[in-house]
Every structure is written in C-alpha cells, then in structure tokens.
Structure 1
Amino acid sequence: MKHWRLFLVILAPLLILIMPLSVLPTGFLEIHQRVLSIFVFAVIAWVLEPFPVYAASLWIIFLQLIMLSNRPLSLIPALGLEQKVLSWEEILGVFASPILILFLGGFFLASAATKVRLDKNLARVLLKPFGQNPKMVLLGLILITAVFSMFMSNTATTAMMLAIVMPVIASLPSGDPLQKALILSVPFAANIGGLGTPIGTPPNAIALKYLADVHPISFIGWMQFAVPYMAFVLLLLWLVLIVLFPSPTKTIQIDMTGRFLKSKDAIIVYVISVLTLLLWLTGAWHGLNSYTVALLPVCVFSATKIVGKPELRDMSWDVLWLVAGGVALGDSMEKTGLSKLIVQNLPLGALSLITLAVLFACLCFVLSNFMSSTATANLILPLVAAMGIQWGESGAVVLILVSCFSCSLAMALPVSTPPNALAYASNKVSQAEMFKAGLTVGLIGLGLSLFVFLMFQKVL
C-alpha cells in the first residue's frame, strides 16, 4: 500500500517537469513549471503520507534549493535571466520565519508551565467555581480547555485535561452518556480554542502571514474578532453535547487538590508568562511586534535552564518543520508569480465573493478532516490569498479567515486532529459518536464563520 503512494509522489511531479511548456496555460515559464511540480509533490505527500508530513516539508525546501535557487544543482538546466529565481539564503531563511519564532515562543511557555505544574494547578482552580452540576462542569471543562488551547498546543492541552477528567469519568456508571460528553468536550474545545490567538494553532499563523500582505493584524487585533467567535462556538458545542448525550446524573465530583509551587523556577515562569501575555496584548502601546515578544520566554527560560535539553527534545519540532515547508511553498508560489497564474487560469472569475468563500471553506473543511489542518492551510491559503486580491482588501481578508477557521473546525473523525485521536484512544466513545458530534459542531461553526466574516466584511 505504501509503495504505490511513494511511487505516485515521485511520478506525478516528474510528469509535470517533463511536460512541454506548450501544454501548460499561457504565461507559464519553466520556473513556474518547476514550482508547480513541487506543489504537486506537496499535495500528494501531505494527503497520502507515504512518509511523515514534516519530512515532506523538508523535501520541499531541498527541492527548491536544487531547482529554483540562484545556486541550483549543476545537472539541472539553468533558468533564463527573465525568470524570477530565488536566492538560496531566502529559501533557507524560512527556518527563521517570524511565524516559526512565534510558535517557538508558545512552545517554550507551554513547556515551562508543564514543568512547574502551572497548567494542571490552574485548571483545577478554574474548574472549582463550576460546582458539581454535570452540565456546569461540562461547560467549565469546555471553557478552560479552550483558554489553555489559546496559548498551548491543542494536543498537550487535551492530554492534560483528559488526565484531570478521566477519574471523574471512571466514577460514573457504565454506559452513562455523560462519559461521552466529557470525553468529547476536551478535544473539541481544544480544536475550537486554538482559533483564539495567532499561536493557538498553526493554520492561524499561516493565515497571519498572508494577511500581512493585505491587512496586517496584531496579536490583540486577532483576539478581538476570534475570541468572541470562539466563545459563541464553544457555547454551541456545550449545547450540542447536552442534546446528543443527555445524562441522568445529578452531581459529579472532581479532585481539586494541588498547590502552586513557590520555587525560584516556578516564580520565574509565573512572571515571564504573565509579562509575555501582557506584551502580546499591548503591542500598540510599547511598539514591539508579537514575533519579537515571543523571543522573551525563549531567552529567559533557556538562560535559567527551566527549559533545558530534555524539554527541548520533547518539543514539537515536527510542527515547526511542517509550517516551514508550507511557508517555503507559499513564498515560492508568490514570488515566482505561480499563484497568480493559477488563479487567472481557474474558471472561478465569474463567481461571487460569497460563493468563493463557501467553496474554499468547504474544501478546507473536507480536506482537514482527512489530513493535517496545517498541511491543508499550507496548500490552500496561497491560492486563497492570490484570489482574494480581486475583491480588494476586505475580500481577501474574508477568504483567508474563512478558509483558516474551516481548517480548525474539521474534527469529525479520530484522524482529523491529534486531540481527537487522544479522546478516541480512551475507548469511551465510538467513531460514529465522534463523527455525529464533531460534524454537527464543525458545520455550525463553519456556517457561523461564513455569516460573521461576510456580514462584517466592510469593517475587517
């Protein structure tokens, strides 16, 4: 099975490369043909996964260096002077992309918080006010998971919150629907909560990169529209789970024991975490952008060894590599003009903005249910950004944000997101139950995002 996938990921790009230019649409140059072959490689590698998706990203960068750069492989015919070759320094520069630095800062914050048990202790404290009523505890679990997911990895947040809630689930009578509601609330809330900040999930950061070209949005600017939307979808999630999994249980008890550490390392983590968050929220006042602020926890936690070699080894470097490959792919398509050529040759020019928004939202939603949402964003957003230009600044913003949000709302299957897989592994919920709840919430959220962004297009 894997062999034919590998064969296809090699054969398809080669066919693009050896194809006569006359077969391709008008305006295509040899460099466009090469970029297109790399794009086809990325599509097949990220969808079929003959090897890990992060490995595909590294191959994208390597292929760009030997085929598109000003220092290519000597065996490959040189490109003409009229073609927009990329500098090799520019290609390798994606590993220091501001988007990756932003995520690295988030990784350091999450790693340090876990080390001093700030995350678990804070979760217990925040859950306490919701009492023992099952519906209120479910709401508390959803809200707290989402808040953590705004600043931590969705997967790490899910693992942490499941560890807190599993003893509660075990204490419930066998077959109680509340078990399923509690289990599903965690990954779904983590997926939705990731929408709240630029560092919440990789598609957000990728969208931020393309928004920078048409309508730059600050950290707090993103939160101003994303958090209210996120809160409304979380409320809908709560209602959907209550309706789908009604429970006769009247009270539940959650272990609230735990204390905040008072060690030197813990105090440093508390101070730097709060300071970083405040700096992210007040960028308009102090002048530092969110990417620069993200280096603060990286520098401090490295110097104090709060994040040392063991913590560095445990970080999700595969996510950074995956994003780097997407940034490199998008840059090459934009700088060589391929994205504009593709858009010009797609039969979509007569479609309205609403139709395009629905089309791309559905495409991202469907793809992200079966493959990485980050890979989907990497593939679709360059085309969306290029197509949005014809609708002006506001139209481009609408298409980019709707597509971005649709990627994160795809959570119908265990394979859709790592948080879903963690919840499914508990053996407390079936794939059919996850599909029913995840598809319902995802489609409602998708419809809401289309309505909100299209209604407020003029003020975005």
Structure 2
Amino acid sequence: MKFSRTVQFNAIPEWSSQYIAYSNLKKLIHSLEADAATRLALGHHDAERVSLIPHEESTTEYDAIFRRSLDDELDKICRFYTEKERDLLAELERLTKDIHDFHGRASMEQTSSSSGSSYIARGHSDVESLAPERQKILDKNGDLLSMESYSDGDEQFTEISDIKIMLKKRAIALYVSLSELRSYVQLNRTGFAKALKKYAKCIGREMSGNYVPDIVEQSYPFLHSTREALEDKIAEVNVLYASISTNGDISQAKLELRAHLREYVVWERNTVWREMMGMEKNIQGVGLTNQGLLVSANPITDALEHKGVLNLPPIEIHTRLGTIRLTRLIFNSTFAILSIIGAVFVMLLAIPIFDRPEPQACLAILIAASLLWATEVIPLFVTSILIPLLIIVLRVVRSDDMYHERLEAPGATKYIFAAMWTPVIMLLLGGFSIAAALSKYNIAKVIATWVLSNAGTQPRNVLLTTMFVAMFLSMWISNVAAPVLCLSIIQPLLRTQDTNSNFPKALILGIAFASNIGGMASPIASPQNVIALQNMSPAPSWLAWFFIAIPVSIIAILLIWVMILVTLNPAKGAIITKIQRSTEKFNRTQIFVSAVTLITIALWCVSHEMESVFGDMGVLAIIPLVVFFGTGLLTKEDFNNFMWTIIILAMGGIALGKAVSSSGLLDVIAISIRSLVSGMGIYGVMVVFGCLILVIATFISHTVAALILLPIVAQVGQAMDDPHPNLLVMGAALLCSCAMGLPTSGFPNVTAICTTDDQGRPYLSVALFITRGVPASVVAYIVVTTLGFGLMDIVGL
C-alpha cells in the first residue's frame, strides 16, 4: 500500500488537515525532479517552461525549497500537538478529580447504608458533594438529569449509577483521544522519513543534513520525553478506568479500553509479487472502451449487447396473479451465455456422433469447457474445478490396459485426481517460490536498476535496455510480475516527459511486448510453458529449452524494437534522466536467496542427467519451497499469495487432456486433422497450426489457448508419418506467447493499457496498442516459425 493511502486511511477525520501533507510533498518532489531533468537535457533555462520553482543551477537550491516545505509541515504538526495535548491533559485533571469525588461519595454511601440511612439521604449526600462546575459538565454531556429534580430514593440511586456510567464514558473517550494522539505522532514521524527517502530517490542525492534525527526528533511532539509522558498519561487513564469499572483490575481495564480503539491500516512495503497478485485477481474483469478504460472482458457479450440481442424488450407473462417480467433473468448477459453453453452441452450429449459413449461425453465436456474458458462467463479456475466433476459423473475415462474398459466412478476418481497432481504442478509452485523470494527481498529490482543505470541517455538505447531487462525478469519472476516491476523502475522517466513526447508510449509498449516474448524464454516464465512440458514426452531439458527460446526471444525483441523506433520516433521531445542505481548492497539474506535460486536453476538444467536421483525436475522444485519457507524467508502469507487460480487452471487442463486421451476422443480428432494436413511436412503443419494458435491466443488468454490446443497438437504430431510431437508442442507454446495484438491478450498488455500518468490519463490508446501489437505479433510469429523451427530441428525435437 502506498504511504499516501496509509495516511488517508489512518487519519482521524477531525484531524485530517493536521497531518503531514505527504501527497503535496510528493508533487513538489516530482516538480523538482522534472525541473532537474529538463535543465540537464536542455543545458539551459527554458523561458517558456512554466515552473513554480526557481531555476538555480545548484541542486542545493532544491534542498532549500524542500526544506522550507518540511519546516512548514513540522510547524503545523507541533502547533496542533501542543494545543491538543493541553486540552486532553486538562480533561484528565478534571476526570481525576471527579472520580476521586465519586469514590468519596461511594464511601459515604456505604457508611450511610450500614447505619440504616435511606436512599434519599445517600442521594443528597452525593449531590451535595459534587462541585457546581462538575454538575454543569455532567449536564452538558446529556447523560445525567438535573439532580434537584429527584423526589424519592429510587431516583437518587439511579442518579448515582448514571454518574458512574458518565465517568466511564469520559475515561473511554479520553483514552481513545490520547491513543490517537500517540498514533498521530508515529504516523507523522514515518511521513517525514518517507518524504525524505522519496526526495533522495527522485533527485538522486540525500538532502543535506539529517533532517529527521536533527530536526524532527528534536521537536516537542517527537521528543522521547514527550512520548514517555504521553504513555504515562495513557497509563493513568487505565488506572482511573479500572477503579470505576473493573474493581481495580488493570489488565481487564486495558482489554476493555483497547476494544474502543479504531483499527489502523498498517503500512508495509508493496512488493511486485503483491501488485502482481492484485492484478491477477482483477484480470478477469478487464476489457476496453474506446478510451482505453476497463469495462468488460467478454467480447462475445459485448458483441451481443451491441447488436441488441441482450437488450430486447421485456417479455411479459400475464397471469391471474399478476404480470411476470422475464427481461433481467433470461436476457442477462451472463445467464444468457451460460444457457447457450448449457444447451450446447446437452445437445452434444444427446446427439449420437460416436459409437462409444466415452468420446461422446468427452466431446461435450471439451466444447463446454472451451466455451466457458473463451467467454470467461465464470472465472477460469471455476471451469477447471468443474471439469473433474463432469469427467467422473459422465464416466468419460477408460482403463489404460489393452481392454480399455469404462471406469466406474470410484476408479475414475482415483484416475483423474492422480493425473491432476503432477511434477509439472510442483515445478509451477517452485517457480512461484523463487519469484516471491526475488521480489520480497528486492533482488530483482536491484539487478534491474543496476542494468538500467548503465543504459545512458539515448532514447533508443534506454528503450532497448528496458526491453531486455523486462525479458530477463520474465524468465525468472514470470511475465506477469516483470512488467509491474519494470514500470515501477521507469516511473522517474515517465514523470519527466513532456505530454507530447512519444517516449513514454514507446517504453510502455516495449515493456509489454518484451514481457510477452520473455514468457517463452524459460520453462517457468509462463503457464503455457508448464502446460507444454506436460504434453511433451520426454520433456526437453532446460538447456535445450534455453538453446531454442533465448535466441528466438533476442531476435524477436530486436525486430520489435526497430518497429517501435520507426513507427513512434521516441527520441522526439524525449527528456532522459539517468536511472539511479540502487544504493543498497547485497546483504546476507539476498546472497542466500540468490544462491538457492541459482543452484535450483542449475539443477533444472541438468535434470535429465539426474533422473536416477530425483526422477523429475518437478521434484527439484521442492528445494526452493523447503528452503525459503523452512528458514522463514517466506511466510505462510506468501504461500497464500501464490497464484492458486493459475495452479487450479493448469490442473483442470491436465484433467481435461487426460480425459480426451483416455476416452479415445483425441485419436478421433487427430485422425480428422491428419487427413486435412495430409501431404504436408512437419514445417507446413507448424505454419498452419501456428496461424491458428496465434489468432486464438490473441482473443483468449495465452494459458487457455495452451490448455485447449496443446494436447491436440501433440496428438497430431504423434500421428504424422514422420512424428515430431515435441517440436509441434514447443512451437505452439512459443507462439502462444507471441499473441499480443490486443490490449487484453495477456497480463503484460493489460498492465500497459492500465498505466496512467499523475493526472490519471492513460498513456496508451487502444488504437495505438493494436496498430503496434498486431505487427509485433506477426514479427514474433515469423521468428518462431523460421529461426525457432531450425533450432528445434537441431536439438532433435
């Protein structure tokens, strides 16, 4: 969570204007940063540039400007604290005296009671003991009626109870106010530290002097003695409350008082992994308007609504009991699409297409699941959860022996669920653990900023370096997290650009395209690669994958870089400030995480040579899981933050692929497709299938396209006269990553189209994205089907 949001959420509403104006300080920092970048790029003062700050050459002037703003905020905070503290201490003094008087009256009441005095006598004694000014306070709070109005003993007894209740309420209110004053000091102290850190990061230098220890912490609200005194006053209120509420039990009083405190939002540094998770959770609701904003992710629904199919006039059924309107039920888009898919499913079950029931039922499941995945009318992972249920209930699977007998429900359950948890799923979990550790301990960001800090100030060089950084990060922390991290690193570059410059557009597009391409560069870079490994027998080694995918990725990125330079001319109007290298050095924890990561990757690379020891590369994925979580470097919260929806999606796809194969449907499909591509060589089949995959993966997610198509591609390759199933499967997986023609074609594209400037305006329009995304997809397709095919042939796939 950003600290500006933390201030907003934690601020006491009545005090909101008295907190450090962190957002205003950030705006000032960005103004100073933009001014410094402009003067650095132009070399002189631009008289036409409107700026609220002076243009002295020395950056020490920036210190003075920022220092004045900090001083103003500090003065405001000190004045408010002093005034509030004075009021609360005065109320504490009054409350202490009132509670003391109350206990004195209680003692008199006990004495009177023992001598047989009436309630009236006790009541009058209590009333007379109250000072007139405190009677006025109680009356003002509205919880105590006028004492002179009572006429009998019961009313006087009730009055005493009301006084006690009022004193408890005052103690609670005072405790809450003092506690809020304590949090006020803590939050503002953090605000000053965060503002100075932001200044150092954006301006590229520490502000002269140690402002927090020398100035802030020497001011009255932040003094150690002041904070200790405040704690003592809070402890006094605990004692006072205990004396009138819990019979002197301080611990119980603390529990009761703390229950009245408001909950505070704790600030913690946002990691790329957390941001990625937030995007992944929201991605299924993403779509585009012609302004580039998000509305819907369902192109079929949008088309139907645009044509008016889902906006028909209401259907009215007149009955004796009244009129029934069916519009919102029947023609609701979600309900309508689900009804259509359900009807297709039932029809495919009912109409005899095959001689045996297993492939018949499996075809119905395959078509229904594909439609649900493609339309995303329900979440993708929900469809995956539904698949094993349908497979078992409809008895789709058959035994693997020579008889191929139809399995009953108990046998089918064991068969399918055993197939769903495979070493590939463990590989996915191992990749997630590495990504989480690299992000949590800032390793990926340190490496990325080190590389980008050496990119120079030429727009074309900065763009190319950024694209290769995005590709490299995609290999190890996934092509979902990589664009988020890269965009956070280049924020200083984006903020300092003129509104008419194309450089921000080129950078954001370059990161998106390079992250997509990087999704093919390693087996754990994207889910489609993991799905490909599941459909390849034997699975290629990591070295073989690198030998094919890395040259393909590098050439594709270079060609896309040239395309962006030619079509956008990012150098025009660009103001380049050098990315600041991270000042933090690798600590022992970062070195340890890096070492575990490198060892795991090295073992993955030689996994085929170590099959006699580990059996499968998925078993090696257990190493980072055990080490990172066993040592406490990653916590159970990190484990809960894994992209379990992706894992469930992959498991559902594996179950469907197993069912398609076991039922005999895959053999039927392969025979039909083989007849269509008869006479074609392996290269011709790859070109044809490649076009189909590129189009499908452009309109639906890359992962879904891989789930649907890769099992079919593998079977077609196996059934050819010259079998090359692994070549076709890997080629198809690489081509899934090449599909980036639409802003909704993948996670990197959605990240790019959602990126906005400080005023909330998107950098990219849909038209701009499509006119660059489609050519980029074609370029990548050509590279995969030429260079990629040649490298796969050399490896012997």
- Residue 604 of structure 2 corresponds to 280
| Deviation string, structure 1 residues 413-448 (Cα, Å, up to 9, x no partner) | 111112111110121011111111111111111122
Shift of 1:60: 0.8
How far apart in 2 are the matches of 1:258 and 1:128?
A: 9
CA shift, 1:195, in A, is 0.5
Paired with 1:227 and 1:394, the residues of 2 have a C-alpha distance of 25
Q: Distance in 2 between matches of 1:176 and 1:123?
A: 24
Which residue identity is paired with 2:689?
A: F
- The one-letter code matched in structure 2 to 1:430 is S
Q: Which amino acid aligns with 2:337?
A: R
> Displacement of 1:394 after TM fit?
5.5
Do the aligned partners of 1:150 and 1:200 also contact (CA within 8 Å) in 2?
yes
| Aligned twin of 1:352 | 680
- The structure having more radius of gyration, on CA atoms, is 2
Q: Equivalent of 1:83, from 390, 402, 405?
A: 405
Q: What is the match of residue 152 of structure 1?
A: 477
> What amino acid does structure 2 have at the position aligned with 1:7?
S
TM-score, length of structure 1 as denominator length: 0.91
Secondary structure of 1:150's match? helix
Whether the 8 Å contact between 2:384 and 2:652 is mirrored in structure 1 is: yes
- More displaced stretch, 426-435 vs 126-135: 126-135
Q: Match of 2:676, SS?
A: coil
Does residue 417 (structure 1) correspond to residue 740 (structure 2)? The answer is: no
Question: Which residue number in structure 2 is paired with residue 221 of structure 1?
Answer: 544
Structure 2 residue identity aligned to 1:9: I
Aligned to 1:114: 439
Distance 2:548 2:458 in 1: 31
In structure 2, distance between residues paired with 1:393 and 1:269 = 45
Partners of 1:259 and 1:68 lie apart in 2 by 61
- The aligned amino acid for 1:304 is T
User: Who is 2:340 aligned against?
Assistant: 8
Q: 1:456/1:194 Cα in 2 relative to 1: closer, same or farther (>3 Å)? A: closer
Could you tell me which residue of structure 2 aligns to residue 433 of structure 1? 768
1:399 aligns with 2:728: yes
Shift of 1:283: 2.9
Q: Give the aligned partner of residue 427 of structure 2.
A: 102
Aligned to 1:303: 630
Return the offset for 1:158: 0.8
The answer as to whether partners of 1:134 and 1:249 remain within 8 angstroms in 2 is no
Equivalent in the alignment of 1:444: 779
Q: Does 1:197 align with 2:522?
A: yes
CA positional deviation for 1:455: 4.3
Contact residue 412 and residue 438 of structure 1 kept, 8 A:
yes
What amino acid maps onto 2:593 in structure 1? Answer: V
The one-letter code of the counterpart of 2:633 is I
Within 1, Cα distance between the matches of 2:421 and 2:608?
Answer: 24
Out of 685, 691, 696, which is 1:367 matched to? 696
Find out whether 1:338 has 2:661 as its counterpart: no
Partner residue of 1:388 out of 697, 711, 717: 717
Deviates more, 1:188-197 or 1:84-93: 84-93
1:330-370 CA-partner distances (Å, limit 9, x unpaired)? 11111222111122234514251344322211111111111
Q: Within 2, Cα distance between the matches of 1:155 and 1:457?
A: 26
1:88-110 CA distances to partner (integer Å, 9 max, x unpaired)? Answer: 22311244211111111110001
2: CA distance between counterparts of 1:174 and 1:103?
41
2:356 aligned residue? 29
**What amino acid does structure 2 have at the position aligned with 1:173?**
D
Deviation, 1:29, is 1.1
Q: What per-residue deviation string (whole Å, max 9, x for no partner) do you get for residues 393-427 of structure 1?
A: 65323322222222111111111112111110121
Alignment-mate amino acid for residue 403 of structure 1: A
Q: One-letter code of the match for 1:175?
A: N
The equivalent residue for 2:568 is: 245
Pairwise CA distance, 1:128: 2.3
Indicate how the Cα distance of structure 1 residues 194 and 349 shifts in structure 2: closer, same or farther if over 3 A, else same.
closer
Say if 2:358 and 2:664, in contact at 8 Å, map to a contact too.
no
Distance in 2, matches of 1:91 and 1:158, equals 36
Q: Return closer, same or farther for 1:69/1:264 CA change in 2, 3 Å cut-off.
A: farther
Query: Which blocks of at least 5 consecutive residues in structure 1 are unaligned?
Result: 72-80
Tell me if structure 1 keeps the 8 A contact 2:437–2:634.
Answer: yes
Q: 1:249 to 1:293 in 2, by over 3 A?
A: farther
8 Å CA contact 2:480, 2:748 repeated in 1: yes
- The match for 2:497 is 172
Conserved in 1, the CA contact under 8 Å of 2:474 and 2:482? Answer: yes
TM-score of the pair, normalised by structure 2: 0.53
Mapped to 2, the partners of 1:223 and 1:37 lie a distance apart of 38
- 1:78 counterpart residue number: none
Greater length-normalized contact order (CA 8 Å, ≥ 6 residues apart) = 1
Evaluate the alpha carbon distance shift between residue 228 and residue 456 of structure 1 in structure 2; reply closer, same or farther with a 3 A threshold.
Answer: closer
Shifted more, 92-101 versus 47-56: the winner is: 92-101
Structure 1 residue 322: Cα displacement: 0.9
Paired residue type of 1:413: L
Secondary structure, counterpart of 1:414 in structure 2 = coil
User: 1:146-197, CA deviations, whole angstroms, 9 ceiling, x for partnerless residues?
Assistant: 0110111211111111111122012111121111100111111111011011
Matched position secondary structure for 1:126: helix
Answer whether contact 2:501 2:574 (CA < 8 A) is retained: no
**Aligned residue type for 1:91:** I
Give, in whole Å, the separation in 2 of the partners of 1:43 and 1:201: 20
Residue equivalent to 2:639: 312
8 Å Cα contact 1:183-1:423 kept in structure 2: yes
Which residue type is aligned with residue 562 of structure 2? L
Q: Please tell me the root mean square deviation across aligned C-alpha atoms, in Å.
A: 2.2
Number of aligned residue pairs: 444
The Cα of 1:205 is off from its aligned counterpart by 1.5
How far, CA to CA, are the matches of 2:584 and 2:422 in structure 1? Answer: 35
Residue of structure 2 aligned with 1:270, choices 588, 594, 616 = 594
Q: 1:434 to 1:100 in 2, by over 3 A?
A: same
Aligned to 1:140: 465
How many angstroms apart in 2 are the aligned matches of 1:183 and 1:173?
Answer: 15
Q: CA separation of 1:249/1:283 partners in 2, compared to 1, >3 Å: closer, same or farther?
A: farther
**5 Å matches for 1:181-196?**
181-196=506-521
Instruction: Look up the match of 2:390.
Output: 63
Cα deviation code 1:203-242 (max 9, x no counterpart): 1111122222xx5311121111111111111111211111
Aligned to 2:450, the other structure's residue is in SS state helix
Question: Does structure 2 conserve the Cα–Cα contact (< 8 Å) formed by 1:42 and 1:60?
Answer: yes
1:36 touches 1:338 (CA, 8 Å); kept in 2? Answer: yes
Percentage of matched positions with identical amino acids: 26
Letter in 2 for 1:148: L
C-alpha contact (below 8 Å) 1:398/1:453 kept by paired residues: no
Q: Cα–Cα, structure 1 residues 451 and 266, in superposed 2: closer, same or farther, change >3 Å?
A: closer
In structure 2, the residue corresponding to 1:153 is in which secondary structure? helix
> What corresponds to 2:417 in structure 1?
92
Q: In the aligned structure 1, how far is the partner of 2:749 from the partner of 2:791?
A: 32
Q: Give the whole-Å Cα distance in 2 for the aligned partners of 1:65 and 1:331.
A: 12
In 2, Cα distance between the equivalents of 1:319 and 1:211?
20
Residues 31-62 of structure 1: CA deviation (Å, up to 9, x unaligned): 11111111011111011111011111111122
Q: Partner letter of residue 395 of structure 1? A: H
Code of the residue aligned with 1:428 in structure 2: it is Y
Would the aligned equivalents of 1:29 and 1:83 in 2 still touch at CA under 8 Å? no
Task: Tell me how far apart the structure 1 counterparts of residues 516 and 684 of structure 2 sit (CA, whole Å).
Answer: 26
SS in 2 for 1:88: helix
Q: Which amino acid aligns with 2:601?
A: L
Q: Residue 144 of structure 1: CA displacement?
A: 0.8
- The verdict on how the C-alpha distance between 1:312 and 1:389 changes in structure 2, with shifts beyond 3 A counting, is same
Structure 1 residues 2-27: Cα deviation after superposition (integer angstroms, max 9, x where no partner): 1111112222111111223xxx15xx
Cα distance between partner residues in 1 of 2:520 and 2:672: 32
Distance change in 2, residues 1:285/1:345 (3 Å)? closer
